[in-house]
Chain A
Amino acid sequence: MAATSATTFSIGSVSVGSRGSRLPQTKPSAARFASRNSLTSFSGLKAATSMSCETEATFFGKESSAALRGSFATKAQKANQGSRHGLQPVASYKVAILGAGGGIGQPLALLIKMSPLVSALNLYDIANVKGVAADLSHCNTPSQVLDFTGPSELGNCLKGVNVVVIPAGVPRKPGMTRDDLFNINANIVKTLVEAVADNCPDAFIHIISNPVNSTVPIAAEVLKQKGVYNPKKLFGVTTLDVVRANTFVAQKKNLKLIDVDVPVVGGHAGITILPLLSKTKPSVSFTDEEVEQLTVRIQNAGTEVVEAKAGAGSATLSMAYAAARFVESSLRALDGDGDVYECSFVQSDLTDLPFFASRIKLGRNGVEALIPSDLTGLSEYEEKALEALKPELKASIDKGIAFVQKQPVTA
């Protein structure tokens, strides 16, 4: 799946959804023969690498990345930063966002537009995406933004794409659980994944639409029926739980956030979210009370935001941030970085459940390895919580599978 075609970088290609009149491209783009260096010099949104945290980096372009490194380095090093051509990653991946006009989709599109690894950004939604694309197209970053509106253009949006991110769907209102969204969002995800199967079956598929515990099994069933299911490339995005766990633990224990990494396993709703506080890096000890407080807070953080927004929506900005971090990790993995670890809800044999979130190693072909050591040596509290979450998770998974089997996909 090493789809690093240089053709995606050409700016002159005519494409669907281009807006307005444009002068013909009279000057060809300068050929970039930047070496396919490893991306250890560019780090994304604080993803854990080799199980330890890297320096937090920014999307803010070379000056700021240089400035950030300078703040850790000596003055002499700062002076040598100069031109960073050799260290800049080559933009070469195509990302599609299905649901790009929504509350998560818009800031997510902005973050991905800012990524130096992306050469093309395809934005799809049933409405409003023309404006979002016009807006983003003005940012001076390498990716080319195209908009696709409505089911008739969905296929074109997906052709040749390396990563598909699906935030489409409706958000919770106060008092709702993620499961209450099932009926609407299940249909949306089914339709979108059918198109993915038809147009870019080799892509990494990131599912954000809730309830993730059910929509990922739905996606898997759809892909199976289409005969293109690759369990290594289907991910439920649970990064936000990790982000929240890191934040709350750092706050509680007065740690520097940049060092904190808490693995979160299980699923992505209520008690199925299981933060493994005993495996926090750096090692800290928690009192039983703290474990209880933190676990409950992490499990209900999504609800915390839904209530604070009082009907105006659910977490959008933090979700976009977390999802962008996961996309960034996927792109680094696609690019050959051998050191990419993230938590994600994937098909798994770590437990007796067909799907389970845990830390995984990402590689060129998707999930390279599940990390079983996360489930050994758990504290008593965590063992109990793990057993308690399994029935609920199983029920959600079964609900998703049953949904697709009741209405088989259109061939």
Chain B
Amino acid sequence: MEANNSQVNQRIATIAAHLNPSNNSQTVGPLGLERRDCRAKGGSAGFKVAILGAAGGIGQPLAMLMKMNPLVSVLHLYDVVNTPGVTADISHMDTGAVVRGFLGQQQLEEALIGMDLVIIPAGVPRKPGMTRDDLFNINAGIVKTLCEGIAKCCPKAIVNLISNPVNSTVPIAAEVFKKAGTFDPKRLLGITMLDVVRANTFVAEVLGLEPREVDVPVVGGHAGVTILPLLSQVKPPCSFTPKEIDYLTDRIQNGGTEVVEAKAGAGSATLSMAYAAVKFADACLRGLRGDAGIVECAYVASHVTELPFFASKVRLGRSGVEEIHPLGLLNEYERVGLEKAKKELAVSIQKGVSFVNK
């Protein structure tokens, strides 16, 4: 009886092995396109994602959620400290993505080679009383270094930039890529998803709607008054009293500060930022996969206004940003807000550009 069982097991194991092709299959399609089979041991077909700053307050929950995402086949975690611990932790999760950890700047390049999507939460967070701009000096240097690595190792990757102040770090990244000759405006996106998430939540609260059903476009930038929620364009269509508009706009613009104060020095939004970043990264991956109709707000190189960068709804596809939606109709309140936003945004953008060119 014992022998029979093990024979049966052997047969089944052999059959099972046939169902799992080895790593060597690289098929070349009729158009000469190479379709790399991403099957690492235990991995599934999917995308290679790197998180730069994976051991930090945002990076850790972000890494956990990306490990759970079925579209990720390989997950690279990079940071200057603590990555071995985070990698060991996450590698135990029973989901398909293969996790590798990289520690210290000397391993940055290894972490980046072959990546399809790079998410950058690296940097220091705000403390109570600080603006996002106060972080500029430290975070600008960090972003510059990381982008130099990206330009060298995975210039075609889609870059999702979270490090604040996003209004400046995205122009910094652009300048670094331009200098390296690898700048692709379709592939560099500043994450403003958390503003959208907050807007959806607060509007749903006020109106008594299901928060997952609400969609508020948020344009402009990612700091204070540069965050411009277009309440007149909410889906499902709703009308607001002027008091509600003031309250909501104010709350959405200061959502980040709300959390910094509540944490009283212990940090800024980490969990909701990870949630929003993963939602957005997931949208990028679905676009890369070829899904149609993926539209999200992001801060990108843009002609929607006279500024070189601006956040608005973009359509994501195989090459990154495939189409930038125009702002649409704004009401009086929003037009006034837009002018205020543009003024501050212009300064932040210039600050970033100058930093790289000095």
Q: Does A86 contact B (CB under 8 A)?
A: no
Q: Does A394 contact B (CB under 8 A)?
A: no
Given A60-B279, A250-B42, A256-B44, residue A304 in contact with residue B88 (CB < 8 A): yes
From B9, B94, B286, A243 is in contact (CB under 8 Å) with B94
Q: How far is the CB of A143 from chain B (nearest CB, A)?
A: 9
Q: How far is the CB of B338 from chain A (nearest CB, A)?
A: 24
Interface string of B268-288 (1 = CB under 8 A from A): 011110111011001000100
In the complex, are the beta carbons of A321 and B68 less than 8 A apart? Answer: yes
Q: Contacts of B12 on A, CB cut-off 8 Å?
A: 282-284
In the complex, are the beta carbons of B207 and A27 less than 8 A apart? Answer: yes
Q: How far is the CB of B52 from chain A (nearest CB, A)?
A: 18
Provide the main secondary structure of the chain B interface: helix
Q: How far is the CA of A27 from the CA of B258 in the complex (A)?
A: 25
Which of B78-86, B105-113, B319-327 sits within the interface?
A: B78-86
From B10, B13, B44, B64, A317 is in contact (CB under 8 Å) with B64
Which of B145-153, B155-163, B196-204, B308-316 sits within the interface?
A: B196-204
In the complex, are the beta carbons of A107 and B61 less than 8 A apart? Answer: yes
Q: Contacts of B17 on A, CB cut-off 8 Å?
A: 254
Closest to B279 in A: A60
Q: Contacts of A310 on B, CB cut-off 8 Å?
A: 84-85
From B96, B197, B282, A258 is in contact (CB under 8 Å) with B96
Q: Does B211 contact A (CB under 8 A)?
A: yes
Q: Contacts of A110 on B, CB cut-off 8 Å?
A: 61, 65, 271, 274-275
Which of B29-37, B168-176, B222-230, B259-267 sits within the interface?
A: B259-267
Q: How far is the CB of B322 from chain A (nearest CB, A)?
A: 17
Q: Contacts of A257 on B, CB cut-off 8 Å?
A: 42, 44, 94-96
Q: Does A64 contact B (CB under 8 A)?
A: yes
Q: Does A135 contact B (CB under 8 A)?
A: yes
In the complex, are the beta carbons of A317 and B94 less than 8 A apart? Answer: no
Interface string of A98-141 (1 = CB under 8 A from B): 00000000110110011010000000000010111111111111
Q: How far is the CB of A257 from chain B (nearest CB, A)?
A: 5
In the complex, are the beta carbons of B82 and A139 less than 8 A apart? Answer: no
Given A62-B212, A114-B275, A309-B85, residue A247 in contact with residue B207 (CB < 8 A): no
Q: How far is the CA of A256 from the CA of B274 in the complex (A)?
A: 27
Q: Does A12 contact B (CB under 8 A)?
A: yes
Q: How far is the CB of A48 from chain B (nearest CB, A)?
A: 11
Q: Does A318 contact B (CB under 8 A)?
A: yes
Q: Does A30 contact B (CB under 8 A)?
A: yes
Q: How far is the CA of A46 from the CA of B96 in the complex (A)?
A: 11
Q: Does B210 contact A (CB under 8 A)?
A: yes
Q: Does A339 contact B (CB under 8 A)?
A: no
In the complex, are the beta carbons of A134 and B263 less than 8 A apart? Answer: yes
Closest to B201 in A: A140
Q: Contacts of B339 on A, CB cut-off 8 Å?
A: none
Closest to A88 in B: B212
Q: Does B69 contact A (CB under 8 A)?
A: yes
In the complex, are the beta carbons of A308 and B84 less than 8 A apart? Answer: yes
From A131, A247, A283, B262 is in contact (CB under 8 Å) with A131
Q: How far is the CA of A258 from the CA of B200 in the complex (A)?
A: 33
Interface string of A136-179 (1 = CB under 8 A from B): 11111110000000000000000000000000000000000000
Q: Which residues of chain B in 33-79 are interfacial with respect to chain A, using CB atoms and an 8 Å cutoff?
A: 41-42, 44, 60-61, 63-65, 67-70
In the complex, are the beta carbons of B197 and A316 less than 8 A apart? Answer: no
Q: Does B20 contact A (CB under 8 A)?
A: yes
Interface string of A1-19 (1 = CB under 8 A from B): 0000000000110000001
Given A58-B70, A308-B85, residue A138 in contact with residue B92 (CB < 8 A): no
Q: Does B134 contact A (CB under 8 A)?
A: no
Q: Contacts of A244 on B, CB cut-off 8 Å?
A: 92, 94
Q: How far is the CB of B58 from chain A (nearest CB, A)?
A: 11
Given A27-B207, A135-B270, A308-B84, residue A282 in contact with residue B16 (CB < 8 A): yes
In the complex, are the beta carbons of A313 and B262 less than 8 A apart? Answer: no
Q: Which of A138, A284, A308, A321 has the most CB of B within 10 A?
A: A138
From A23, A64, A258, A284, B244 is in contact (CB under 8 Å) with A23
Q: Does B243 contact A (CB under 8 A)?
A: yes
Q: Does B247 contact A (CB under 8 A)?
A: yes
Q: How far is the CA of A21 from the CA of B209 in the complex (A)?
A: 19
In the complex, are the beta carbons of A135 and B263 less than 8 A apart? Answer: yes
Q: How far is the CB of A320 from chain B (nearest CB, A)?
A: 7
Closest to A9 in B: B210
Q: How far is the CA of A130 from the CA of B260 in the complex (A)?
A: 11
Q: How far is the CB of A171 from chain B (nearest CB, A)?
A: 11
Q: Contacts of B209 on A, CB cut-off 8 Å?
A: 29-30
Q: Contacts of B205 on A, CB cut-off 8 Å?
A: 11, 22, 25
Q: How far is the CB of B127 from chain A (nearest CB, A)?
A: 12
Given A134-B262, A284-B9, residue A142 in contact with residue B212 (CB < 8 A): yes
Q: Contacts of A247 on B, CB cut-off 8 Å?
A: 42, 91-94
In the complex, are the beta carbons of A134 and B89 less than 8 A apart? Answer: no
Q: Which 10 A-B pairs rank lowest in CB-CB distance, beginning with the nearest? A: A131-B263, A309-B85, A134-B262, A308-B88, A285-B9, A140-B211, A246-B94, A140-B200, A317-B64, A29-B208
Question: Can you add 7 more A-B contacts, CB < 8 Å, to A253-B13, A285-B10?
Answer: A25-B206, A130-B263, A140-B197, A243-B92, A255-B42, A309-B85, A310-B85
* Chain B contacts to A: CB under 8 angstroms: 6, 8-10, 12-13, 16-17, 20, 41-42, 44, 60-61, 63-65, 67-70, 82, 84-96, 194, 197-198, 200-201, 204-212, 214, 243-244, 247, 255, 258-259, 262-264, 266-267, 269-272, 274-276, 278-279, 282, 286, 291
23 contacts between A and B (CB under 8 A): A23-B244, A25-B205, A29-B208, A30-B209, A60-B282, A133-B262, A134-B262, A135-B262, A136-B272, A138-B255, A139-B197, A140-B200, A140-B211, A141-B211, A247-B91, A250-B94, A255-B20, A256-B42, A283-B13, A304-B88, A305-B92, A309-B88, A317-B60
